[in-house]
């Protein structure tokens, strides 16, 4: 009977799956690991649509007009004498003269538009679970450190109070010794 129990114990020990055995098994059979991960941590794909309204803007257009001054001089010289007209023609009209005159700014309203965006969002659930676990561990570590810090702050406060009271006792004794008439 003892050998039977020993045999059962050896079979149980040999059949246990350790982490090292599991890693070597899944490294040699990655397809099994992939199916196991897909069963527990399936990725979710979702198509998202969003529409963004872009209001129109007022744009000011700057423009200018070019005016031929020689035509204006011709109309102005009709009332002048022949000598004056010759002087004007020799000095001005031999070279055409143009002047740019700026126009007032013209406001132009651009139309309102809507932009549509289509995108696929893929979420990796295995990473989300791992990050949630890491976040939980960080929160608990933060709580432990906060408790330790509060304990240290309390100890420092108590020590400061003790030192303060001790200094006050020494000051009062010195004052009484030098300035009081009653002996201590």
Domain ranges of the chain: 47-122
Q: How far is the CA of 8 from the CAs of 11, 17, 21, 87, in angstroms? A: 5, 16, 21, 131
| pLDDT at residue 109 in the model | 84
Contact 119, 45 (CB under 8 A): no
Mean pLDDT score of the chain: 77
Spatial separation of the C-alpha atoms in residues 26 and 17, rounded to whole Å? 12
Helix residue ranges per DSSP H, the chain: 2-15, 19-28, 30-40, 69-76, 82-88, 125-179
Instruction: Write the pLDDT tens digit of every residue in 50-107.
Output: 788 888 888 888 788 877 766 665 565 555 555 555 555 555 555 666 778 888 888 8
Residue 105 and residue 61 in contact, taking contact as beta carbons nearer than 8 Å:
yes
* Cα–Cα distance measured from residue 105 to residue 63, given in angstroms and rounded to the nearest whole number: 7
CA-only gyration radius of the chain, Å: 48
Q: State residue 73's pLDDT score.
A: 59
pLDDT of the residue at 5: 66
CA–CA dist 41, 127 (Å, integer): 9
Tens of pLDDT along 22-58? 788 878 887 777 777 777 777 777 777 778 888 888 8
Q: Are 104 and 41 in contact (CB under 8 A)?
A: no
Do residues 69 and 130 make contact, with C-beta atoms less than 8 angstroms apart? no
Confidence at residue 124, expressed as pLDDT on a 0 to 100 scale: 72
Residue 90 · residue 118 · CB < 8 Å: no
CA 92 to chain centre: 66
């Amino acid at each position: 009977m003892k050998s039977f129990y020993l045999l059962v114990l050896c079979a149980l020990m040999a059949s246990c799956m350790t982490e090292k055995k599991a890693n070597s098994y899944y490294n040699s059979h990655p397809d099994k690991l992939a199916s196991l991960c897909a069963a527990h941590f399936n990725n979710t794909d979702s198509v998202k649509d969003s529409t963004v309204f872009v209001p129109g803007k007022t744009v000011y257009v700057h423009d200018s007009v070019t005016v031929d001054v020689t035509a204006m001089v011709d109309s102005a010289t009709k009332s002048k004498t022949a000598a004056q007209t010759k002087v004007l023609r020799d000095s001005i009209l031999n070279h055409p003269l143009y002047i740019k005159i700026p126009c007032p700014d013209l406001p132009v309203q651009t139309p309102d538009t809507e932009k549509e965006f289509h995108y696929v969002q893929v979420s990796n659930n295995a990473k989300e679970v791992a990050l949630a676990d890491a976040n939980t561990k960080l929160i608990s570590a933060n709580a432990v450190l906060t408790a330790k810090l509060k304990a240290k702050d309390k100890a420092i406060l108590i020590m400061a109070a003790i030192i303060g009271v001790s200094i006050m006792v020494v000051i009062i004794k010195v004052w009484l010794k030098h300035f009081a008439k009653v002996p201590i």
